[in-house]
Structure 1
Amino acid sequence: MKERIVAVDIFRGMTIVLMILVNNPGTWAAVYAPFLHADWHGYTPTDLVFPFFLFIVGTSIVFAYSTKKPTADTYKKIVSRSLKLIGLGLLLGAFTLVFPFVKDFSEIRFPGVLQRIGVVFFITSILFLNFNWKQLIGVTVFILIGYWLAMGFIPVNGIASTFDRAPNNLANYVDLNILGSHMWKDDYDPEGLLSTIPAIASCLLGVFTGKILLSKQQNKTTIVLGLGLILLIVGHAWHFIFPINKALWSSSFVLVTAGWANLILALIYYSTDVRKVQFGTIFKYAGANAITVFFLSSFIGKLFGLIKVGEDRVSIHSWLFNTLYVHDFLPIQLSSLLYAITVMSCYLLVALVLYKRQIFIKV
């Protein structure tokens, strides 16, 4: 029987809960700074959430496929899961364009969070099944250094490439010329094509941590903590020549976010799996149906933003926020956060019900 590591389930659930929290403020016009993404270079706590999930996907791949062989049946399951994730992401992207009637699909956004998870899961799983850990380290280093060299030294339209949000940014240039209008913004997409390559490295770094946790080492907490510190130091040092940037998913961003992931996971692991302290159970419930809970929150959130109610024909989202949370005695940012916490709590309740009824929806 495969060893079950409680810390991984809790970490996964915490990440999904934070995703829901930062994606559902009462109003985007009033959000506390830590719950916003960095404007461009640098990072906030919110910028850690998505790479944390890709990191834990990598860790989970180790648990799921350590005893598997690269057979046709295994590949079939990997492809099936990847296509489901990509399909769910495209469905979310198309939903706002077809509600309530079918409209022009020319503006549908192709990239997205679930699409990136699907692609990264597929490639990382294939690599894990076919390469040993030394080869995987080589692949990770090649991706990170290769991406830096490509972004920093390949000219765009005869102009030196830049890491700024500009036309001669290589990642932006690739997305604009391949995706065109199928992007989040006119000049960049945070889940674009080229930046998905280093996102694979984020997942691979999770694979290495998964291997440590499944190993027979006696000092796993110390090793994971040490790895986290090294990644943080190297990532912040690299920032001076390749800035930490979520939109570009820069190599320094990969290292820094994986560093934080290792530090946090190590602390949870020491508490729950070493010291046997019982905490974070509700996060374990969310982690058991992570993709389902995230998809529901995104789908219902979009629905609440589209359906109009009342004489003023405002969205359900706006009506709920303005009616229940906006008061003269509350700062508007606090009202916005309380709304987000309420939404998050509702999905935690959904996760709890699913877990208690032993309903686990596998994507």
Structure 2
Amino acid sequence: MNARSIPSSIPSGRLASLDILRGFDLFMLVFFQPVFVAFARHWSETPVFSFLLKQFNHIPWVGFSAWDLVMPLFLFMVGTAMPFSFEKYLANPDKWAIYRKITKRFVILFILGAVVQGNLLSLDPLRLRLYSNTLQAIAVGYLISAILLLHLSRKGQLVVTFLLLAGYWALLTFLGDFTPDGNFAEAVDRAILGRFRDGVSYAEDGSWSFSDSYRYTWVLTSMVFGVTTMMGVFAGQIMKYGKDKKKNCQLLFVIGVVLLLSAWLLSFQTPI
């Protein structure tokens, strides 16, 4: 193979930073975490390995680890790609073409999520879990972001995204508490999903109950799935429309720091 046959650059239209981030997230998920955890258990008493092992387990309730960031990072990356993939549709007054694409992607992702974690292929109604997987969260975040991206100005997108986050905060703050059993998102999931919620167990007499250890919420938390995906949309817009890559990087860094500080301050009232 000669030098001319070797690609000298990223294929046109690809966002290299997003490809790298996506690869890193998948690497963490399917390879590094299981391999590292199996390896590091032999030195779990060592302070360094003990700390690192904790980063590859979900925090039971308050706080977060590196492993808790893998799922929302997928949502963020989906949003980052949307300003680029939606470009040809935004100027088209006929929105049916893009809505067919959005609907198809939403349905496929939701069904795949039901297959992966919802026991759909078991064909057993008692085992069916309606809303329980990251793919379904991506589907919902994608749908919300697509509607905002197609029909609102950038200012309108910012306003609605803020309202979604503020609305979620208000519902959790004023209609419950921040305990595992008392938070409003938990109550909504139990009321809407019922026995089709993930974590439900059945007794021999056919009665069922909610698990005391399952604390993931989905229905009300869909508001936050939309917010996380929109954060990616805004990052994608900065990268797409900003003329200077260095300034884009600086702006993303500053916004990231501001958001981290804001989240830290809010955590004194709303636990992470």
Q: What band does the TM-score fall into relative to the shorter chain?
A: 0.7 to 0.9
Does 2:223 correspond to 1:197? yes
Matched ranges for 1:183-222 at <5 A:
183-185=197-199, 186=210, 188-218=214-244, 219-222=247-250
The residue number in structure 1 matching 2:271 is 243
Partner Cα distance (2:262, 2:12) in 1: 34
Per the alignment, residue 72 of structure 2 pairs with: 51
> Quick check: 1:134 aligned with 2:155?
yes
Determine the C-alpha separation between the residues in 2 that align with 1:143 and 1:96. 30
Q: 1:81 aligns with which of 105, 122, 133?
A: 105
Q: List aligned pairs for 1:222-301, cutoff 5 A.
A: 222-244=250-272
Change in Cα spacing, 1:113 to 1:191, as seen in structure 2 (3 Å) is farther
Residue 334 of structure 1 corresponds to: none
1:293 alignment counterpart: none
Q: What is the letter of the counterpart of residue 235 of structure 1?
A: A
- 5+ residue gaps in structure 2? 1-10, 45-52, 200-209
Partner of 1:163: 178
Amino acid at match of 1:171: A
Deviation at residue 144 of structure 1 after TM alignment: 1.1
**Distance in 2 (alpha carbons) for counterparts of 1:165 and 1:133:** 36
Shift of 1:127: 1.1
User: 1:59–1:210: 8 Å Cα contact kept in structure 2?
Assistant: yes
- Whether 1:116 aligns to 2:137 is yes
Give TM-score scaled by structure 2 length: 0.78
In the alignment, the residues of structure 1 paired with residue 57 and residue 110 of structure 2 have an alpha-carbon distance, to the nearest angstrom, of 25
- 1:177 Cα deviation from its structure 2 partner: 1.1
Write the distance in 2 (CA, Å) between the matches of 1:192 and 1:126. 20
Question: Closer, same or farther in 2 for the Cα pair 1:63/1:137, shift >3 Å?
Answer: same
User: Aligned letter for 2:127?
Assistant: E
Counting aligned pairs with the same residue, the percent is: 29
Deviations along 1:1-54, whole A, 9 cap, x unmatched?
974320011111211222224775788xx6921100111011100011111110
Amino acid at match of 2:106: S
Q: Is the 8 A contact 1:183 1:189 kept in 2?
A: no
Stretches of structure 1 that go unaligned for 5 or more consecutive residues are 155-160, 245-363
Partner of residue 146, structure 2: 125
Equivalent position amino acid for 1:163 in 2: F
Give the aligned partner of residue 262 of structure 1. none
For the residue of structure 2 that corresponds to 1:180, the secondary structure is helix
Change in Cα spacing, 1:95 to 1:22, as seen in structure 2 (3 Å) is farther
* Higher RCO structure, 1 or 2 (CA under 8 Å, sep 6+): 1
Instruction: Tell me if structure 1 keeps the 8 A contact 2:114–2:120.
Output: no
Quick check: 1:22–1:36 contact (8 Å CA) kept in 2? Answer: no
Answer yes or no: is the 8 Å Cα contact 1:22–1:35 preserved in 2: no
- Give secondary structure in 2 for the equivalent of 1:114: helix
Match of 1:19?
A: 29
- C-alpha contact 2:109 2:138 (8 A) present in aligned 1: yes
Q: Which residue identity lines up with residue 20 of structure 2 in the other structure? A: I
**Structure 2 partner of 1:182:** 196
C-alpha distance in 2 between matches for 1:141 and 1:180: 30
Q: CA RMSD in A?
A: 2.3
Offset, 1:91: 1.3
Q: Is the 8 A contact 1:93 1:108 kept in 2?
A: no
Q: Identify which of 6, 31, 38 aligns with 2:16.
A: 6
Aligned residue runs from structure 1 range 143-162, under 5 A: 143-154=164-175, 161-162=176-177
Query: Letter of the aligned partner of 1:106 in structure 2?
Result: L
